[in-house]
Amino acid sequence: MTDSGTNDHLVKVSGVDKVFKRGSEVIHVLGGLDLEIPNGEFLALMGPSGSGKSTLLNLVGGLDRPSEGTVVVGGKRIDKLSDRKLAAWRARHVGLVFQFYNLMPVLSAQKNVELPLLLTKLSKAERKKRASIALDIVGLSHRNGHYPRQLSGGEQQRTGIARAIVTDPTLLLCDEPTGDLDRKSGDEILDLLQALNKEQGKTIIMVTHDIHAAARATRTLHLNKGQLSTEAVD
């Protein structure tokens, strides 16, 4: 993946509007938004419910397209890619961590982590090896044969993170990753995210309502009424 060449920014969002239509109602979620994220940053996005945090995350991750404006990641303008090319780009460059884990209950931790690799040309043995490495990174190598129902909430989230990093993605996008966990388990997940950022240089964008979680990031931005600010808005 090539660099954008501008101050080593991995992500550059420029003049982005996002509009949703609900029947005859037009809902403006983001308006003329600009955002630059350097390589290796751990960015926390905060804001009230409905402020557009997850929408912005989806735009940067190629899960949605802006109504207006441009989204450039690693020098590639992803908002102009065809659906097929965007899906291929996303599979290679984006790791997703969700609040509710989204694990397949009929698959072991090992098989859940292997899922993104099914889109690659890797052999079965190589997929298994990479999934084992990812589980080891998140401290779950001893639980690789366990099913989600046999794992604690924190262990399920660690499995979700292993699945997100198994393809060695450029971006790790986390939507309320500690929202369904108790404080102890949440702190363990935040420790892991910090380690991935500092030790492996992963660029992380985390949506959160939790000030405690946001404090782990290297920078926090607040989204309100479609615009970003360094200050929280009451």
Mean pLDDT of 112-121: 89
Question: Can you read off the two tokens belonging to residue 11?
Answer: 């992500």
What pLDDT was estimated at residue 180?
Answer: 83
Q: Residue 73 burial by CB count (10 A; 0-12/13-18/19+): exposed, middle or buried?
A: buried
Q: Two tokens at 33?
A: 């938004």
- Residue 233: per-residue pLDDT: 59
Residue 43 has pLDDT above 90, yes or no: yes
Q: Spell out the domain ranges in the chain.
A: 39-62+92-229
> CATH class for domain 39-62+92-229?
alpha beta
**Structure confidence by residue, pLDDT tens digits, 52-80:** 899 999 999 999 999 999 999 999 999 99
What is residue 230's predicted lDDT score, i.e. its pLDDT?
A: 80
Say whether pLDDT at 227 is over 90.
no
Tokens describing residue 143 = 């639980």
pLDDT bracket for residue 234 (50, 70, 90): low
Strand-pair category, 203-207 with 171-175: parallel
Percent pLDDT > 70 in the chain is 96
